[in-house]
Every structure is written in structure tokens, then in C-alpha cells.
Amino acid sequence: MKTSQELTFNDLSTEEGILTTVDVNTLRPMPVDYQTYPWKVITDAQKQQYCCLLDDINVLLIPVPQTKAEEEELVNRFLDGVRKLFTPENNWTCLAMLDTTMDYCAQCNSCSAACHLYEMSGEHEMYRPNFRSELFRRIYKQYVKKEPFAKWRYGDIDLNWKTVVRLAELSYRCNLCRRCAQVCPIGVDNGLIARELRKLFSQEFGWHPRELHEKGTKLQLDVGSSTGMNPDVVKETVEFIDEDYVETTEYEFKTPWDVPNADILLIHNAGEMLAWPDNIAAFSLIFEAAGLSWTLSSEIAGYDSVNYGVFYDDVQAARVAIKHAEAAKKLGVKKIVLGECGHAHKALTVIADRILPPDLNIPRESCFPVLRDIVLGGRLKLDPSRNNFPVTLHDPCNLVRLMGVVKPQRDVLHAICPQFREMTPHGVENYCCGGGSGFAIMTRNNINEWRMNITGRKKMEQICGAFKDCLGPEVKKYVCAPCSNCKGQIRELLEQNNLLEKNGMQYGGLVELIVNAMTDVKPGFIKWEEE
């Protein structure tokens, strides 16, 4: 097994067994009582069935090739997939950006300094953003583009089935947060390369996390929601939520369904209905109190903004985005508004612009400018003193860094939270929660240990830094994370370390804080751990 310092590109093709590991005993300590989790052992039986060749983590469960012919076929299919990535008819979403970012890399390692995975792994060589990219770049130039003297100019790469399998797994050691791209002085986007590799392996080999495909996009398209809730179940669920929160808030509201020609079609992440029903209730209460013309849709996928295709597969991303637009067109609404879900924002705004035909190109907007206009426009009766506890804001990568929606949510927090304080850094420079690119919902093998030890460690450090003046159980503190995926990750970071109770921390969205401040609502909408 290679140490980080010993690792070379050719080790990915020559070494046997697991290539490297991270010593969890050397990870950076946290300002609070934060555990480290030993890697769950990959058994000998699993190693015989599935390729366990990269590190201690196994996400994709790639079958071990049984013959030389299968090994050769695997390499040939990979090269076919690479060729497709660089043809307009097969890569109609990201070819121009991919071409640009594949030209060259200065190896300045600015991207490494910006990467939370590299930093929190103890600066492990293999988790540099440019390690994965440079390996792929050399393969492309030597074996596909066949540039003259490529192996002498860029470094010879021995391409075999082990290289391919390790590259596939390595594409899932990235949160796709694109912080690396933001700091690159020449515009190389290592996050894009990781995502394009995922697309290649999904569309060419069917290698994708089960949670993103079978339990994600496929279930959503077949049943209506990535949660498995069909239209009848989801309408019944929201009806129960309405009833519960009318009773607890003592404010009368009712969520509208399938209203034709409404101004707004609101699409939630349907996971909120099961995990955080207070978020669903808060949106309905705010929109009704503000007198908006709005509705939910009971069409297939029309009530679930999730689009896991953005993490791994263009075809699936396109299918889901079209379903969302079709639901809006059927109702004749003026625009779609996305609830608190970061990847849904990016999928149905930025990416859908490259997918939707003109007749489905319906205006699409984030909920945060809408909420800002409601709060600052005086459409609600608000008492900020109800939120007089320390509040910090987590910036979801897809929403803030990749879309530029930075100010509206801050305008709201400054208006309703007297003790609002920023994380360091924040805005477009903020760090990923560690659950990005689907990690927050992935449970296969030992990905949870990877999330707790490595990917979420920087976010936990940021949260503690924001509350450094009031750490401990005596002061209640609120982490505002206006994204379902991010909330799932932060929930596990806090729960697995018992920080909700031991350190007085709570988490939730933005709309919950708005409702908590509404004077027309019974006090105490936000429930703390002891409650």
C-alpha cells in the first residue's frame, strides 16, 4: 500500500489491491467533542466480488472482471465513452466547458489549497482536485486525441482495467462543489471533469450509486418522487402537515393543489415532506399570509424538485427537468419557484437552459428573491426578537457559488435575526457541507465514514468557528441551511456527535426562521432539542 507522498499516476495501473488509505488518527481535531470513525472493513468476500482497488472506501460496487477478455473489453468501452464525451452529438450540455478545461493545467495547486477534501484528509496526494483531472487529461491526450509525443510531453500512462476502475471510484471522492474552479487562475474546472467522468461511467457501464439512480431519478420518473411517494400519497401527506401545523401555529392556511393559471408553481424537494415537514408548512403559511397566487402540482415529478441526474447522468437529468417543465406548462403558471433545495435550483435553471425546448422554457426562479421581497416588502407582521439567538448561514454550493444567489437570503436574515453572524469564509467562498453531489443520501458500504471523517469535517469546523463565543449547551444556536441535501448532511454531523443536545445547536431552513418571527403565529415554531 502506497503512502500519500509515494503515490504516482502509474501506481493506478500497476499496484495490486487497495492503493492507499487515510489514517483517521491523524485527522485535525475539532473545537468540540467530535468523533473519528474507523473505516468499516471491506470483507474478503466483497473484494472477490467487487473491485476494491482505490482506498478504504467503496461506493460503486464494480464487478471484478473474470477473464483477460473482460478486462480488455472494459478498457475499450472506457475509451469509447471518452470519445463520446468529446463529440457534440453525445455531450450537448458541457462539451465547450470540458474542452476548455482539458487543454492544460499549470499544476500550481491553487485548487488543492481550496479543496476541503484535500485539506481534511491530511493533504493526501490522491485527493488533490488536479490529481484526478491530470490522470484523465493524460489518458485523453495519449489514447484518444493521440497528440504527437503525448507520452513524452505529458507523462506516459499505462492504461488497463485497474486504471479505469480506480478512476471511476476517484470520481466519487469529490463533492462537485467547484470551489477549485473558482480559484483557478486559468479557468480549469476540476469539479466538471469529475462530474463528466461520472456521466461516462453511468451511461457507458451502468456504474452509478444505487441511491442516485434506482432510488433517485428512476424512482422519481416511475412513481413521481425520489421518496417513493406517488401523487395520492404526497397530497395526503401535505394535507396532514397542513392540519398539524394549523393546530400548532394557530394560523389558518391550506396548501393549494393544481390551481390553473396561478402566478407560481412551487416545487419542493419531496424529502422535506418526510424529514422536515415544518419546512413545507412554513412555505405554505408564508405564501398564504403574503397573499401570493401559487400552487403545487400533483403531476409525476411535478411535486419533487429533486434531480439527482445533475450528479451523475445527463440523460436522467434531462428526463427529470422536462417532467418539471411539463407540469408547469400543463397548469399554465407564469413561473416555477424552487423551494429550499440547492441542486434542484441549478438543475432547473442553469442546466435546464441547455436542455428544455422553447415551448417548455418557462420562467424559473429561486425562492430566495421571492422570500426577500415578501419580508422586506412588509407583507408579513414580524418580530425579530423572537429570533434573538445566534444564527449562522450555510451557503449551499449549487445555489450560491454556482448560481450567484448570495444576497437575498442574507437580506432576510439581517431583517429577522438580531444575532446573525457569518461563517468564515462565506458567500461564494464558503465550503461545501460535505454532503454535496449526492453524498448526503448515499449509504453504501462505508461512505458514511468518509462523510463524517473527511467531507463534513471542514463544515463542522466552520460552524464551530461561527459560534466560538457561545460554544456549550447554555446558549441555543441555529445553523440556517436552506437546502435539503445540506440539511441532511448537517443533521448527521450534529446528531452523530450529539451536538444538538450537548452544544445547544439546532439546524433548519430559512423559512422556519421567517415563520418563527411572524406575530400572527403562535410563538415557538422552531423546536429545540429538549422540546
| HEC readout, 462-493 | HHHHHCCCCCCCCCCEEEECCCHHHHHHHHHH
| Residue 524 located in a structural domain | no
256 backbone dihedrals φ, ψ, rounded to 5°: -80, 145
277 and 151 inside one domain: no
Q: Taking the model in full, what pTM does it have? A: 0.96
| Residue 120 located in a structural domain | yes
| Residue 470 located in a structural domain | yes
* Cβ(174)–Cβ(54) below 8 Å: no
27 and 92 inside one domain: yes
Please identify, among 175, 205, 235, the residue that sits at the C-terminal boundary of a domain: 205
Ranges of residues in the chain with a pLDDT under 50 are none
**What is the pLDDT at residue 530?**
58
Contacts of 355 (CB under 8 A, 6+ apart): 93, 317, 318, 321, 322
**What is the pLDDT at residue 444?**
81
102 and 72 inside one domain: yes
Q: For the chain, first and last CA: distance in Å?
A: 49
Q: What element of type H or E holds 206?
A: none
Please identify, among 164, 185, 205, the residue that sits at the C-terminal boundary of a domain: 205
| Residue 527 located in a structural domain | no
Closest Cα partner for 417 from 385, 449, 379?
A: 385
Positive or negative CA dihedral for 204, 206, 212, 213? positive
The whole-angstrom separation of Cα 274 and Cα 487 is 13
349 and 442 inside one domain: yes
187 and 286 inside one domain: no
191 and 256 inside one domain: no
The whole-angstrom separation of Cα 494 and Cα 221 is 33
200 and 229 inside one domain: no
244 and 105 inside one domain: no
336 backbone dihedrals φ, ψ, rounded to 5°: -100, 135
**What is the pLDDT at residue 531?**
57
**What is the pLDDT at residue 152?**
85
| Residue 528 located in a structural domain | no
What digits encode the pLDDT tens for the residues 371-415?
A: 999 999 999 999 999 999 999 999 999 999 999 999 999 999 999
152 and 234 inside one domain: no
Domain that holds residue 415: 216-517
196 and 221 inside one domain: no
116 and 186 inside one domain: yes
* Cβ(153)–Cβ(147) below 8 Å: yes
| Residue 178 located in a structural domain | yes
Q: How many domains does the chain have?
A: 2
Please identify, among 205, 236, 268, the residue that sits at the C-terminal boundary of a domain: 205
| Residue 349 located in a structural domain | yes
**What is the pLDDT at residue 2?**
75
Cβ count within 10 A of residue 371: 25
| Residue 2 located in a structural domain | no
Q: What element of type H or E holds 398?
A: helix 397-400
191 and 257 inside one domain: no
